[in-house]
């Protein structure tokens, strides 16, 4: 059994801080997106045009671009169908935010074409991560309720760890896609030098949300491991 000053588990405090950071990061990305959605690019090109130009520049003529049906910030690249899907604000918009997001999603298409290892690793983890996120709570709750079935907790922790691993692997994938996006926008002359600041703010704010959510997940996993280890020692 652990004893803490004032009866407060420091791990709980760390998790609360991480949740606070995650909420701040989400607000930050929304604020930066809103801010630079009002700043039009000097080139007056849309997200669709930027995405198509970068794809063609990299020889990805077979990658399609579609409007996303799921609303704002639903932009993504689907490697199964080789399709970049952009929300209306990004597809038709010519703001710095639209250009940043469109270029970022194309960055994933370039990763896919070039066989970027971390993207392939993340893709391979998808089935395991999905299973872990669905089944981990069931095993964990069952293990804590039925004290005679503590191995269920271990299984639950293993499944949750798979989901956390997916989030950890996502970090370099997202950062790399953002780096590719910035490089392509600059090298192709799609943004002016004084516009790089806005592009960086949008992409960095988005990346921070991944960092914050991963931090929360890692701390939750550590807390579960500590609890499980404490129960086994009792």
Work out the average pLDDT over 209-223.
91
pTM across the whole model: 0.87
Give the tokens for residue 177: 């896609």
Specify burial of residue 176 (Cβ count, 10 A radius: 0-12, 13-18, 19+).
Answer: middle
Reduce the DSSP state of residue 95 to 3 states and report it.
strand
- pLDDT number for residue 2: 47
- pLDDT number for residue 10: 72
Percent of the chain with pLDDT over 90: 71
Q: Known catalytic residues? A: 105
Percent of the chain with pLDDT over 70: 91
- pLDDT number for residue 3: 47
Query: What number of residues does the chain have?
Result: 234
- pLDDT number for residue 230: 61
- pLDDT number for residue 1: 45
- pLDDT number for residue 81: 95
Work out the average pLDDT over 176-186.
96
When the pLDDT of each residue in the chain is averaged and rounded to a whole number, the result is 89
Provide the β-strand partners of residue 181.
Answer: none
- pLDDT number for residue 224: 86
pLDDT at residue 71 above 90?
A: no
Work out the average pLDDT over 180-193.
96
pLDDT at residue 202 above 80?
A: yes
157 within 8 A of 221, measured Cβ to Cβ: yes
Cβ neighbours of 13 (radius 10 Å): 11
Work out the average pLDDT over 18-45.
91
Domain boundaries, the chain: 5-233
d(CA 126, CA 122): 6
Work out the average pLDDT over 174-195.
96
Work out the average pLDDT over 105-125.
96
């Amino acid at each position: 059994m652990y004893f803490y000053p004032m009866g407060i588990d420091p791990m709980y405090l760390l998790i609360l801080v991480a949740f606070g950071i995650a909420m701040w990061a989400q607000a930050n990305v929304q604020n930066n997106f809103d801010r630079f959605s009002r700043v039009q690019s000097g080139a007056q090109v849309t997200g669709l045009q930027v995405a198509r130009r970068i794809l063609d520049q990299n020889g990805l003529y077979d990658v399609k671009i579609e409007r996303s049906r799921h609303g704002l910030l639903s932009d993504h690249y689907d490697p199964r169908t080789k399709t970049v899907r952009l929300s209306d604000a990004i597809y038709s918009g010519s703001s710095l935010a639209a250009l940043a997001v469109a270029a970022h999603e194309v960055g994933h298409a370039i990763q896919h074409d070039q066989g970027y290892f971390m993207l392939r690793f993340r893709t391979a983890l998808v089935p395991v991560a999905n299973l872990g996120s669905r089944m981990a709570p069931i095993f964990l709750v069952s293990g804590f309720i039925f004290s005679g079935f503590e191995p269920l907790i271990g299984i639950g922790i293993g499944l949750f760890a798979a989901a956390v691993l997916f989030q950890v692997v996502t970090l370099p994938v997202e950062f790399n896609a953002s780096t590719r996006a910035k490089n392509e926008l600059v090298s192709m002359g799609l943004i002016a030098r004084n516009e790089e600041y806005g592009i960086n703010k949008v992409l960095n704010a988005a990346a921070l949300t991944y960092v914050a959510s991963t931090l929360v997940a890692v701390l939750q996993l550590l807390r579960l491991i500590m609890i499980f280890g404490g129960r086994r020692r009792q």
